[in-house]
């Protein structure tokens, strides 16, 4: 990023644009590949925490697409992941379908559920808070449903995936690379959506819903699209997570355990940004590790940290850092632009 | 059937009392206080610690309510200040995240200091017969307190000058300021009231079942559901929604089965919200 660049994307060459748009993902992927070798490959405990951070990163990308891009507060990330997770577990274990089929059905089910929730919210034109509450109610109902179906799900005691346990649960590093790959794949999908006409519609409806509607953006349709794709991401992650853990229980997908954390990760990283979920998940991974020996007070420290970041970093890390960067680099760029514009030649 | 419905009403009055403290704060500041349940638990721990030191129950309950009110005012005067500087959805979201963080802080500290803290207030006396159904004395007292609070709040908001001032702030903050009402003062007082109600909920709940350090999350989610079904900002709505949900809960627990009940209850709440997004009595 050291060579001087033209200020506006549409003035770039096609190759330059593509490079810049892919670059953050490529850098993330490179870091994810080398990180275990530089740091924690020999510590199963830290590797386990890293896997968890990656899983939360994947959830956060899906949630970011739904909430960050289209302003629908889905407080059912855990439940959607649970739809994927339990479908995968039960189909591949009890119905002895191949794992891939189980994961696929789980992903599709989560996408359908998410799409339905968005459809309801759109039809009833619920605002952010009410969408949040309806999906929260869905989350709680889902947890109760899982607990109720004792024969199928093992209720609170949990469910051991017979087939999966031997494979990935013991191979922590394998799990790490599985979710690192998934995270990169989801980021690519997110970026591709941002670049397509969907991304344009998302930006419009996020900036000003009424104006977007007036400009001919079918807000309802794009909300449902975002919910379907985001929920599929979450369901897929939940299914693969079940498989890699080898054991799931309602707590694995609980509201307090998943949704709260994902909301904080995305708000911390920066709503609607590409790398926000990754940075948020990494930060909370570090926080988890740092707090791991503080015992009983862990939760209190965690809460204090949450309060501190939202008091001082309201817009999230990515927009704040981006703003600082723009201010530093932007002034130089502006100077260049004035210089190049001054002699009266057009900018091509 | 009569017993089932009556029990449901008792349960529902408790729900209503739970929802009303949350609904007031939301109606006023546009803040969903996610630390509400934890504030109630804080009050409960204060009461139980005092009772363990041989303080009379009534005094302990009073001090517990005051402590919860004080904590709530502290929240208003510190963490909520930057929230009030925002408006609209920004305000709601920031308020939600900050109170969520506070909920973690409170539950973390209580868990650390009083890991086994539990409040259970035993109310003696024979069962009292109502409409031919014997009811436990604790339930009767809890219901009477809830009814009393509902009555006082309705009179207060309907008839007194200060109550009207509060309603004017709910309707239009700028307008209220123009006629000389200070929204920030009104908010602080409502936070105090809300905290006191949270403490009272802790006391009345513990008269029918023990309240533990980890009850806070359930209290908050249930308060949220009751408040939304009743209509955010509506006192009468919170009690109406509480009673309806209480009856639904008990009837379905009795006739359908225990574990489906939670789902029936949540479905009832979801349907109400979808059919009538402003809530039963919301404007």
- The C-alpha of B102 sits at a distance from chain A's nearest C-alpha, in angstroms, of 6
What is the complex's ipTM, to 2 decimals? Answer: 0.85
Q: Is B109 on the interface with A (CB under 8 A)?
A: yes
State CA A179 to chain mean position distance: 12
Is B282 a domain residue? Answer: no
User: Rounded mean pLDDT of B21-35?
Assistant: 86
Which residues of chain B have a CB within 8 Å of the CB of A134? 270, 273-274
Which residues of chain A have a CB within 8 Å of the CB of B117? none
- The C-alpha of A141 sits at a distance from chain B's nearest C-alpha, in angstroms, of 5
Domain of B151, in residue numbers: 2-275
State the pLDDT at residue A163: 65
State the pLDDT at residue A336: 63
Is B281 a domain residue? Answer: no
Quickly state the pLDDT bin for A160 (edges 50, 70, 90): confident
Counted domains in chain B: 1
Which tokens go with A316?
Answer: 């999230």
Query: Across the A/B interface, how many CB contacts are shorter than 8 Å?
Result: 109
State CA A122 to chain mean position distance: 22
pLDDT in tens, A50-88: 889 999 999 999 999 999 888 898 999 999 999 999 998
State the pLDDT at residue A15: 56
Q: Is A18 on the interface with B (CB under 8 A)?
A: no
- The C-alpha of B47 sits at a distance from chain A's nearest C-alpha, in angstroms, of 22
- The C-alpha of B229 sits at a distance from chain A's nearest C-alpha, in angstroms, of 10
Task: Tell me the H-state helices in B53-136.
Answer: 57-77, 80-84, 88-113
Q: Is A124 on the interface with B (CB under 8 A)?
A: yes
User: Residue A208 contacts by C-beta under 8 Å, 6 or more apart in sequence?
Assistant: none
Is B80 a domain residue? Answer: yes
Is B65 a domain residue? Answer: yes
Q: Is A61 on the interface with B (CB under 8 A)?
A: no
CATH number at residue B17: 1.10.3470
Q: Which candidate in B85, B98, B101 is best for mutational testing of the A interface (most A CBs within 10 A)?
A: B101
Task: Note every long-range contact of B168-176, with CB atoms under 8 Å and residues 24 or more positions apart, other chains counting.
Answer: B169/B28, B170/B27, B170/B28, B170/B233
Burial class (CB in 10 A: 0-12, 13-18, 19+), B122: exposed
Q: Which candidate in B93, B216, B282 is best for mutational testing of the A interface (most A CBs within 10 A)?
A: B93
- Inspect the interface and report whether the beta carbons of A133 and B224 lie closer than 8 Å: yes
Which residues of chain A have a CB within 8 Å of the CB of B270? 134, 137-138, 141
Would the pLDDT of A166 be above 60?
A: no
The half-sphere exposure of A200 on its side-chain side, counting CA atoms within 13 A, is 7
- Inspect the interface and report whether the beta carbons of A144 and B266 lie closer than 8 Å: yes
CB B75 within 8 A of CB B32: no
- The C-alpha of B208 sits at a distance from chain A's nearest C-alpha, in angstroms, of 23
3-state secondary structure (DSSP) of residue B118: strand
- The C-alpha of B73 sits at a distance from chain A's nearest C-alpha, in angstroms, of 17
Q: Which candidate in A306, A308, A315, A316 is best for mutational testing of the B interface (most B CBs within 10 A)?
A: A306
Q: Which of B93, B102, B267 sits opposite A307 (nearest CB)?
A: B102
Quickly state the pLDDT bin for B66 (edges 50, 70, 90): very high
Quickly state the pLDDT bin for A245 (edges 50, 70, 90): confident
Which residues of chain A have a CB within 8 Å of the CB of B260? 148
Q: Which of A120, A147, A303 sits opposite B103 (nearest CB)?
A: A303
- Inspect the interface and report whether the beta carbons of A300 and B259 lie closer than 8 Å: no
Q: Is B104 on the interface with A (CB under 8 A)?
A: yes
Burial class (CB in 10 A: 0-12, 13-18, 19+), B113: middle
Q: Is B273 on the interface with A (CB under 8 A)?
A: yes
State the pLDDT at residue A340: 55
Quickly state the pLDDT bin for B238 (edges 50, 70, 90): very high
State the pLDDT at residue A180: 93
Would the pLDDT of B21 be above 50?
A: yes
Buried/exposed B43-63: b ≥16 CB within 10 Å, e otherwise: bbbbbbbbbeeebeeeebbbb
Residues of chain A with CATH 1.10.3470: 17-290
Q: Under CATH, which architecture does the A17-290 domain have?
A: Orthogonal Bundle (1.10)
- The C-alpha of B249 sits at a distance from chain A's nearest C-alpha, in angstroms, of 14
Residue ranges of B 33-72 with Cβ closer than 8 A to chain A: none
């Amino acid at each position: 990023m050291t060579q001087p660049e033209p200020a506006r994307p549409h003035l770039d060459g096609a190759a330059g644009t593509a490079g810049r748009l892919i670059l953050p993902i490529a850098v993330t992927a490179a870091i994810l590949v080398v990180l275990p070798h530089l740091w924690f490959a020999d510590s199963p405990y830290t590797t386990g925490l890293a896997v968890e951070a990656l899983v939360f990163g994947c959830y956060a990308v899906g949630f970011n697409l739904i909430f960050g891009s289209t302003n629908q507060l889905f407080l059912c990330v855990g439940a959607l992941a649970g739809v994927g997770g339990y479908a995968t577990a039960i189909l591949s274990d009890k119905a002895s379908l191949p794992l891939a089929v189980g994961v696929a059905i789980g992903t599709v089910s989560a996408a359908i559920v998410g799409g339905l929730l968005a459809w309801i919210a759109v039809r009833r034109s619920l605002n952010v808070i009410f969408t949040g509450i309806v999906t929260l109610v869905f989350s709680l109902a889902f947890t109760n449903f899982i607990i109720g179906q004792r024969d199928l799900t093992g209720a609170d005691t949990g469910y051991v995936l017979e087939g999966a346990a031997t494979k990935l649960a013991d191979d922590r590093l394998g799990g790490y690379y599985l979710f690192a790959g998934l995270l990169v794949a989801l980021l690519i999908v997110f970026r591709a959506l941002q670049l397509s006409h969907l991304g344009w519609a998302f930006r419009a409806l996020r900036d000003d819903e009424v104006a977007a509607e007036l400009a001919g953006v079918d807000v309802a349709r794009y909300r449902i699209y975002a919910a379907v794709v985001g929920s599929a991401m979450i369901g897929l992650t939940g299914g693969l997570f079940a498989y890699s853990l080898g054991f799931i229980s309602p707590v694995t997908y609980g509201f307090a355990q998943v949704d709260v954390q994902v909301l904080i990760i995305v708000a911390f990283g920066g709503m609607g940004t590409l790398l926000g979920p990754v940075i948020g998940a990494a930060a909370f991974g570090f926080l988890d590790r740092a707090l791991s020996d503080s015992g009983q007070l862990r939760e209190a420290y965690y809460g204090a940290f949450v309060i501190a970041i939202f008091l001082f970093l309201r817009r999230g890390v990515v927009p704040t850092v981006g703003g600082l960067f723009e201010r530093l680099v932007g002034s130089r760029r502006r100077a260049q632009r004035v210089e190049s514009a001054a002699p009266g030649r057009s900018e091509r | 059937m009569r017993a089932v419905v009556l029990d449901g009403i008792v349960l529902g009055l408790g729900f209503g009392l739970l929802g009303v403290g949350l609904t007031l704060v939301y109606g006023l500041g546009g803040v969903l206080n996610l630390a509400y349940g934890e504030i109630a638990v804080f009050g409960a721990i204060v009461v139980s610690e005092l009772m363990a030191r041989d303080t009379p129950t009534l005094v302990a309950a009073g001090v517990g309510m005051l402590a919860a009110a004080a904590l709530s005012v502290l929240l208003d005067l510190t963490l909520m200040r930057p929230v009030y500087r925002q408006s609209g959805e920004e305000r709601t979201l920031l308020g939600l995240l900050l109170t969520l963080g506070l909920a973690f802080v409170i539950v973390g500290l209580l868990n650390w200091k009083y890991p086994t803290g539990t409040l259970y207030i035993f109310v003696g006396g024979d069962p009292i017969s109502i409409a031919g159904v014997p009811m436990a004395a604790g339930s009767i007292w809890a219901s009477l307190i809830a009814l009393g609070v509902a009555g006082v709040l309705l009179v207060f908001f309907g008839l007194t000058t200060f109550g009207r001032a509060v309603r004017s702030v709910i309707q239009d903050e700028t307008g209220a300021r123009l006629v000389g009402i200070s929204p920030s003062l009104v908010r602080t007082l409502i936070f105090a009231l809300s905290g006191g109600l949270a403490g009272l909920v802790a006391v009345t709940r513990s008269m029918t079942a023990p309240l533990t350090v980890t009850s806070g999350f359930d209290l908050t989610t249930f308060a949220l559901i009751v408040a939304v079904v009743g209509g955010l900002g509506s006192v009468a709505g919170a009690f109406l929604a509480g009673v309806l949900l209480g009856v639904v809960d008990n009837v379905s627990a009795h006739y359908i089965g225990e574990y489906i009940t939670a789902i029936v209850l949540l479905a009832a709440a979801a349907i109400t919200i979808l059919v009538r997004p402003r809530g039963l009595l919301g404007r």
